[in-house]
Amino acid sequence: MLWEEPFQVLQVYLPSAEVILVLKLMAYRVKDQGDVEALCQQLNITTRKQAQSLLNDYVSGRWQKEYMVEKALKQVFLI
């Protein structure tokens, strides 16, 4: 997404909600819980399987393991 000031002095590129969610899950901290919940709601992600599918689209299994994404998903989806 591109956001431009009226006079095009400043251009700011924002990642998509999907990318932000993936990053939040990769670097999961307890203080991210509210952000993760809000992003899941915005993206209509209601199951761990849906979140895992999104992660798979952006991050290799090796890096998911390295960053212990499994643990994050267990905390987020309480499974």
Q: pLDDT digit string (tens) for 5-49?
A: 666 677 778 999 999 999 999 999 989 999 999 999 999 999 999
- pTM comes to 0.83
- Dihedral of the alpha carbons of 59, 63, 64, 67, in degrees to the nearest 10: -130
pLDDT at position 7:
65
For the stretch 50-65, pLDDT in tens is 999 999 999 999 999 9
Looking at residue 3, its pLDDT comes to 61
Q: Tell me, what DSSP letter sits at residue 29?
A: -
Round to whole Å and give the CA distance between 53 and 55: 5
Cβ burial of 29 (10 Å; 0-12, 13-18, 19+) is exposed
